Amino acid sequence: MTAFVAFAEVVYILNKHSIKGNKLSMSVVRLILTAIFTILVYTACINTKNELMAEIFYALYFSSIDWILMLFIYYARQYTNVWDEKSAAPLLIAFVAVADNISLYTNSIWHHAFRVYKQTVDSGGWFYNFEANDYYAVHLTFSYIMVAIIIAIFVRKVFTTSGFHRKRYTSVLIMFFVLILLNVAYLFANVMVDVSITFYGIGTLFIGYYTLMYNPKTLVEYMLATITERMECALIAFDEADNCVYSNQFADRMFGVKTGKKIFDERFKKWKDGRDTNSIANNTWSAVYNMGGDEYRFDVHFNKLYDKHGYYSGCYFSFYDVTGDYLAYEEEKYRSTHDPLTDALNRESFYVECKKMLEENPYTDYVMVCSNIKGFKLINDMFGLEAADRVLIRIADSIRSKMQKGSVYARLEADRFAVFMPKERYTEELFMEGMNEVSSLLNNSQYKMTILVGVYEIYDRNVSIASMCDGAFLAIDSIKNSFKNTIAYYGDMLRFEYMNEQKILGEFETALGDGQFAIFLQPVISMDGQCNLCEALVRWVHPERGIIAPATFIPLLENTGYIYKLDAFVWEQAAKRLAFWNSRGFKGLSISVNISVKDFYYIDIYETLVNLVRKYDIEPSRLKLEITESVFMNEKERQIGIINRLREYGFFIEIDDFGSGYSSLNMLKELPANILKMDMAFLSFDKKETRGQKIVNTIVALAKTLDMQVIVEGVETEDQVEFIKETGADYMQGYYFDRPLTIKQFEEKYLK
């Protein structure tokens, strides 16, 4: 029976995926097979009726005991790892075992180890009487040495292993003891049949189980408990009846718990606030807890647990201390929103804060107050950077001391501060006091610090915050010549102008796309009254405001960098018109277009213009380019280079408004233009004024020696015409002949 059970176990081991094939399971299999063999051989011993056969079976039985014990040692070695693999001891044991085996197998010849006699009993049955001779003692001694080795291995392991694993070894050890005891009992009890053999099967079952299948659950539990206990986060778990079943050390410390978990039950109940726990969704939030007087910030997680059938079985809270991250984040945030020198807000965050305040307080009226030190650069130069920094810090301190809730202030840049506050709190005294206090800081015989303040009252809340500040600084601009601390207000006029400008800029791009811009043409008349040239002058044909003159929007577009879009548009219109005239056979007419100095910085003028004349297939000389002296203000060489390339390509260059700037003669020297354009307006021309006339004469003469043609523009009267005719100038342009005309008007009159 037990042999059968043991065999079943072998089959199981060899089929179990996770354990089959490894060294340990193979040694267990070998052990079990040998045990089965032993049981079978012993069964044969006591069943055979032939004395000789019985002796042979006994020899086999004793030798298999040798092998069992030997294999047991091998197994024990592998299982416990107690014994060094390189040790020579196993070899020695194997050698002794072989010797003992030979002695046992030759026993039937010499009977030096044992002899068996068949003995019949009265009932008709029989049994074998066993008689041990000298050499049997050798076998026994060898066996007991092996038993001793096995016990030693396990005892050693039991004492050196950790608590959880101990059970795996003690159980094998105990089982082994039981087998040995049974065996010894048989020896001394002198019963007919060795019952201990039956236990071999049971013993191997034990060994197989504890060696290969036993996994101490308590170990995993212990490990998990230790980990959670020592975790750097608080854990509190509740069962399905909302009773706290677990809290780790961190949680106890955090909530000041000495004994018991009652406090958690109470807190949980309060938190639930009457809700059914199972109905509360898993959730994460952050919370502040006070521990030992300090505030800590935690990320709290609430999670529910379900068993494998999906039934709610409890929940737990975990609290992660994120105070460090939070503080780092706060500091980072502070640094990114504040000016490091004065601790005032920086520009970006100030804009954000103001916007927020406007949105959150729709019924509060606000003012934007900006300040600026007059000649701040002087302070840097005269008193040094450190002193200048001190002044800035004092200004910020002064503002801070007067600030109330509901106001924000910032250092926008350098010496520019801004305060955004409810209008009802604003008083001149509030600011004058601070200004006087700070400006008295730096005062010596050469320098008196002057602080200027501009106030912008917010009427239109949709105006950008940046524009509000601009408004306040515009007000400061109007008092920039003041020598004492002064407050200026962004007045109605100023505001109107400013808003108008904002409106123009806001509308410009759509207007350009919508075709609200058109070119007007003003004829340029030669001395014999012919017109083969005209100037393209842009007009904004506004759907509501009618025709807007360029003076209103061109300076604005130049300042904001949009002018190149308009100019490129005008040039293309002019080129298109020239192409159209070509197609109608009017090949003698040219158009002059204006080029702003800003165009040089925003686009590649050369490429744009060359592409245009190629696209419309027109002579470049028929698109004349008007350039003013202002192109000489900055990066002169670069601009001259571009202009020269344009000229080389075939464009005609006109110097516009000659004489209006300060370096006209210089320009003449360095820029080989084709045409010189001179405005009567710059000449304070008078019929009797001979000086002006002389100047005009001289300039024309000069132009002639430089191989340039001359256009006199702004010609309004007949007298002027008469005079100009005498000077030798080539063309005239002005209201006397025509105002700038629409293309249609111009073509009707001059395309003949």
DSSP string, 703-746: HHHTT-EEEEE---SHHHHHHHHHHT--EEESTTT---EEHHHH
Nearer to ligand C2E, 422 or 550 (CB): 550
Rounded to the nearest whole angstrom, what is the least distance from the CB of residue 697 to Ca ion in the complex? Answer: 20
Nearest to 594 by CA among 623, 633, 622: 623
- Sign (positive or negative) of CA dihedral 60, 136, 149, 92: negative
Give the per-residue contact string, 652-691, with Ca ion (x = CB under 5 A; - = no).
----xx----------------------------------
How would you class 134 by CB atoms within 10 Å of its CB: exposed for 0-12, middle for 13-18, buried for 19 or more? exposed
Residues 6+ apart with CB under 8 A from 711: 524, 654, 675, 676, 677, 678, 729, 730, 731, 732, 733
Rounded to the nearest whole angstrom, what is the least distance from the CB of residue 517 to ligand C2E in the complex? Answer: 9
Rounded to the nearest whole angstrom, what is the least distance from the CB of residue 532 to Ca ion in the complex? Answer: 17
Tell me, what DSSP letter sits at residue 586?
Answer: -
Q: Which member of 227, 735, 749, 751 binds ligand C2E (CB under 6 A)?
A: 735
Give the per-residue contact string, 666-705, with ligand C2E (x = CB under 6 A; - = no).
----------------------------------------
Tell me, what DSSP letter sits at residue 448?
Answer: B
DSSP H helical ranges for 514-587: 550-560, 563-583
Distances (CA, A) of 367 to 174, 314, 346, 462, 465: 93, 58, 18, 14, 11
Give the per-residue contact string, 519-548, with ligand C2E (x = CB under 6 A; - = no).
---x--------------xx----------
Nearer to ligand C2E, 175 or 612 (CB): 612
Q: Which member of 203, 314, 523, 714 binds ligand C2E (CB under 6 A)?
A: 714
Residues numbered 622-651 forming contacts with Ca ion, rule: CB under 5 A: 626
Residues numbered 115-144 forming contacts with Ca ion, rule: CB under 5 A: none
Tokens 């006087």 belong to 436
Nearer to Ca ion, 657 or 738 (CB): 657
Question: How many residues comprise the chain?
Answer: 752
Q: Please give the distance of CA 522 from its chain centroid, rounded to a whole number.
A: 59
Strand order in the sheet with 283-291: 244-247, 233-239, 312-321, 294-306, 283-291
State yes or no: residue 657 binds ligand C2E (CB under 6 A): yes
Residues numbered 584-623 forming contacts with Ca ion, rule: CB under 5 A: 594
Nearer to Ca ion, 599 or 626 (CB): 626
Pairing of strands 531-542, 546-548: antiparallel
State yes or no: residue 716 binds ligand C2E (CB under 6 A): yes
Q: Which member of 371, 594, 693, 709 binds ligand C2E (CB under 6 A)?
A: 594
Q: Which member of 194, 339, 656, 730 binds ligand C2E (CB under 6 A)?
A: 656
- Residue 714 φ/ψ region, left for φ over 0, alpha for ψ in the -120 to 50 degree band, beta for the rest: left
Nearer to ligand C2E, 490 or 562 (CB): 562
Give the per-residue contact string, 563-582, with ligand C2E (x = CB under 6 A; - = no).
x---x--x------------
State yes or no: residue 596 binds ligand C2E (CB under 6 A): yes
Nearer to Ca ion, 201 or 740 (CB): 740
The answer to whether 649 and 685 are in contact (CB under 8 A) is no
Q: How far apart are CA 373 and CA 46, in angstroms?
A: 121
State yes or no: residue 321 binds ligand C2E (CB under 6 A): no
Number of residues that bind ligand C2E (CB under 6 A): 20
Type of residue at 1? M
Nearer to Ca ion, 254 or 729 (CB): 729
Q: How far apart are CA 688 and CA 711, in angstroms?
A: 22
Rounded to the nearest whole angstrom, what is the least distance from the CB of residue 653 to Ca ion in the complex? Answer: 13
Nearer to ligand C2E, 345 or 575 (CB): 575
Nearer to Ca ion, 2 or 594 (CB): 594
Binding site for Ca ion (CB under 5 A): 594, 626, 656-657
Binding site for ligand C2E (CB under 6 A): 522, 537-538, 549-551, 554, 563, 567, 570, 594, 596, 656-657, 714-716, 734-735, 740
